[in-house]
């Protein structure tokens, strides 16, 4: 290659220049070096790393911190320091590395002694960096504890790493039995009043540590007797004049079964029902205590449900139960409002307010109303004052016309024939009141495909009897209401004239009105002569959307049938002779009008025309 370059250079020097008659070319040394380097064979590019990063080692070092001096282990939390060692292999650009599950509370995160850039993704606190090479992450976090079957522990998902080691310390001079899920080479040691466990664990899955304290000799004797724990979920619904409560007591019975359970309620509470497996009978004493007798000895898990109510006054105390004869009790309390009431809680005694999101899902799932207030208690007497403020209800819409489609036929002799079809959703209204144009005569009416008679309303107009809509998927279905009426009028003028056409006023709001007027062919409507409350349009904004005659289901049809049997007078559905169904002959010049959101207002259009008798 070098010989080739030298040969090329010598040829360049020897070859005649295009601009020089002597044929000499002078090549600077730097240019020659550049030409030389380009002539060298290219080096093989480095192979790309198969992974952007790796976590080589994870070390979890934690201890139990008791948040209440002298309290049980479950009152505390786990405080950890996590050391992660890894390497970023990506040559250029940014890399995201999951470090810690978001089920833990992050306190600090440093990478190589500097604050780390952390964001949340897919349930993990995630590091974002563009640095390459090895790194060390130091993370401090805390995590909550759980208690089950006499054991206390913690669990959280781990980010995968090459090797994982965990060390956990619990204060206490009594013997402690540790268990670490998936531990390999677990060792335990004691130093003073501290007990420490160390183990290597698989690097996939969750970090799960649990422990159980040994019972003293006195408690060993007591262990021959039943030991009962209780967790109570209390939901209290507040409505007009009454508070309704449901208490679900989840018992855990150890060592020996029990056949008697006791729950105390305030004396002014009325117990509605007590339910649970194998209840023989139950009774309430004068002090409000409910004694439940079982037909077997309950051991392990047992669920007791108590429904009760109390009259509501302006300033009330929440009726909360107290579980008797238990070694430990935990109570969750939630309150919802089931009418237009404002709930204001006072300062609680024996309970602490918590965020509603902390309540157990099984408690929140008992109600379709939003839970507004929440507390947590650890047994003992609980007193929670509640101020209830009542506000007047606002009238809500119970009947709605989704679409009204009208067709009006104008004849040369001045008569007008109009058909109006309404797509109605009705909750509980008995009639649809329609104010007809003056002198109009009703020829035909139908509701949900059944011919009906209409009644004369007070102050004019007619009353069309309605059925109640079916409920489908939490919403009301629509049904069709049809009315045909005829008006007499003066014959159309020979020459220039003006015509006004009206529609009925409905006492229910209409979302969309689409109106078509058919005018005689031998008359010419003036384009700029339109006036009225309904706007002329060249075409409708959408195709008419009306329910079919048979949209309502069996329930609404049954309502119509019962109305036909029970109602008397002119307004009954199907009463007497079945009305004749009238078809509207539509022909002539077509003029379209449209209006959105029609309230109880006049509906009319007028226009000028020119007509000559043939």
Model confidence over 517-549: pLDDT tens digits?
Answer: 998 888 888 877 788 999 999 889 888 888 875
| Tokens standing for residue 236 | 């209290």
How does the average pLDDT of the chain come out, rounded? 82
By percentage, how much of the chain surpasses pLDDT 70? Answer: 83
What per-residue string of b and e applies to 115-145 under the rule 16 or more CB within 10 Å gives b? ebebeeeeebbbbebeebeebebbbebbbeb
Please report the pLDDT score of residue 26 as a whole number. 74
Please report the pLDDT score of residue 232 as a whole number. 93
Q: How many CA within 13 A on the CB side of residue 350?
A: 17
| Tokens standing for residue 425 | 């959703």
244: pLDDT strictly greater than 70: yes
Phi, psi of 168 (to 5 degrees): -135, 140
Query: Distance between CA atoms of 370 and 354, rounded to whole angstroms?
Result: 15
Mean pLDDT of 121-148: 90
Query: Distance between CA atoms of 344 and 304, rounded to whole angstroms?
Result: 30
| Domains 53-213 and 227-390 alike in fold | yes
The answer to which of 291-305, 365-379, 457-471 has the lowest mean pLDDT is 457-471
- How are the residues of the chain apportioned to helix, strand and coil, as percentages rounded to the nearest 5? 10, 55, 40
193: pLDDT strictly greater than 60: yes
Phi, psi of 12 (to 5 degrees): -65, -40
CATH topology of domain 227-390: Immunoglobulin-like (2.60.40)
Query: Distance between CA atoms of 609 and 498, rounded to whole angstroms?
Result: 6
- Greatest CA span in the chain, whole angstroms? 130
Determine if the pTM surpasses 0.75. no
H or E stretch covering 217: helix 217-222
H or E stretch covering 242: strand 242-264
Query: Distance between CA atoms of 608 and 500, rounded to whole angstroms?
Result: 9
Task: Map out the domains of the chain as residue ranges.
Answer: 2-39, 53-213, 227-390, 399-611
The CATH number of the structural domain formed by 53-213 is 2.60.40.1730
CATH topology of domain 399-611: Immunoglobulin-like (2.60.40)
231: pLDDT strictly greater than 60: yes
Confidence of residue 186 (pLDDT cuts 50, 70, 90): confident
Please report the pLDDT score of residue 33 as a whole number. 76
Q: Burial, 506: exposed, middle or buried (Cβ in 10 Å; 0-12, 13-18, 19+)?
A: buried
Residue spans of alpha helices (H) in 348-467? 361-364
């Amino acid at each position: 290659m070098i010989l080739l370059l030298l040969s090329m250079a010598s040829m360049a020097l020897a070859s005649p220049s295009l601009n020089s008659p002597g044929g000499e070319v002078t090549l600077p040394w730097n240019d020659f070096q550049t030409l030389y380097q380009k002539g060298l064979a290219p080096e093989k590019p480095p192979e790309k790393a198969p992974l952007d990063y790796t976590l080589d080692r994870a070390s979890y070092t934690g201890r139990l911190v008791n948040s209440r001096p002298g309290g049980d282990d479950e009152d505390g939390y786990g405080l950890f320091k996590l050391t992660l060692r890894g390497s970023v292999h990506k040559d250029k650009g940014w890399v995201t590395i999951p470090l810690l599950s978001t089920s833990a509370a992050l306190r600090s995160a440093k990478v190589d002694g500097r604050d780390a850039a952390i964001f949340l993704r897919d349930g993990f606190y995630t590091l974002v960096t563009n640095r390459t090479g090895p790194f060390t992450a130091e993370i401090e976090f805390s995590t909550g504890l759980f208690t089950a079957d006499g054991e206390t522990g913690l669990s959280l998902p781990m980010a995968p790493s090459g090797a994982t080691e965990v060390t956990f310390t619990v204060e206490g001079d009594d013997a402690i039995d540790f268990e670490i899920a998936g531990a390999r080479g677990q060792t335990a040691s004691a130093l003073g009043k501290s007990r420490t466990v160390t183990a290597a664990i698989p690097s996939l899955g969750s970090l799960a540590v649990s422990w159980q304290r040994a019972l003293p000799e006195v408690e060993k004797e007591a262990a021959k007797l039943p030991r009962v724990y209780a967790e109570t979920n209390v939901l209290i619904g507040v409505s007009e004049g009454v508070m309704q409560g449901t208490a679900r007591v989840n018992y855990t019975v150890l060592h020996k079964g029990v056949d008697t359970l006791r729950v105390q309620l305030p004396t002014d509470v009325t117990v509605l029902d007590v339910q649970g497996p194998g209840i023989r009978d139950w009774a309430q004493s004068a002090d409000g205590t409910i004694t439940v007798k079982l037909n077997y000895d309950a051991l392990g898990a047992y669920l007791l449900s108590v429904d009760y109510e109390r009259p509501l006054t302006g300033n009330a105390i929440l009726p909360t139960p107290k579980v008797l004869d238990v070694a430990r009790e935990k109570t969750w309390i939630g309150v919802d409002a089931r009418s237009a009431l404002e709930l204001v809680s006072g300062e609680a005694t024996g309970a602490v307010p918590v965020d509603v999101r902390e309540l157990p899902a099984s408690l929140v799932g008992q109600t379709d109303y939003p839970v507004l207030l929440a507390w947590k208690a650890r047994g003992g007497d609980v007193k929670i004052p509640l101020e209830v403020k009542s506000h007047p209800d606002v009238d809500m819409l119970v009947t709605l016309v989704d679409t009204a489609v009208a067709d009006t036929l104008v004849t040369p002799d001045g008569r007008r024939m109009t058909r109006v079809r309404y797509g109605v959703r009705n909750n509980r209204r008995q009639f649809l009141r329609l104010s007809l144009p003056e002198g109009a005569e009703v020829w035909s009416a139908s509701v949900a495909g059944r011919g009906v008679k209409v009644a004369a309303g007070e102050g004019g107009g007619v009353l069309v009897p309605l059925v109640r809509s079916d409920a489908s998927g939490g919403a009301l279905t629509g049904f069709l209401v049809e009315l045909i009426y005829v008006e007499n009028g003066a014959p159309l003028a020979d020459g220039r004239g003006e015509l006004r056409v009206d529609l009925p006023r409905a006492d229910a709001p209409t979302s969309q009105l689409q109106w078509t007027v058919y005018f005689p062919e031998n008359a010419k409507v003036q384009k700029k002569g339109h006036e009225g409350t309904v706007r002329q349009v060249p075409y409708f904004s959408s195709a008419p959307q009306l329910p079919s005659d048979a949209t309502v289901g069996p329930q609404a049809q049954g309502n119509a049938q019962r109305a036909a049997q029970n109602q008397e007078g002119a307004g009954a559905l199907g009463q007497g002779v079945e009305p004749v169904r009238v078809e509207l002959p539509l022909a002539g010049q077509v003029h379209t009008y449209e209006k959105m959101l029609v309230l109880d207002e006049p509906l009319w259009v007028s226009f000028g025309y020119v007509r000559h008798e043939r």
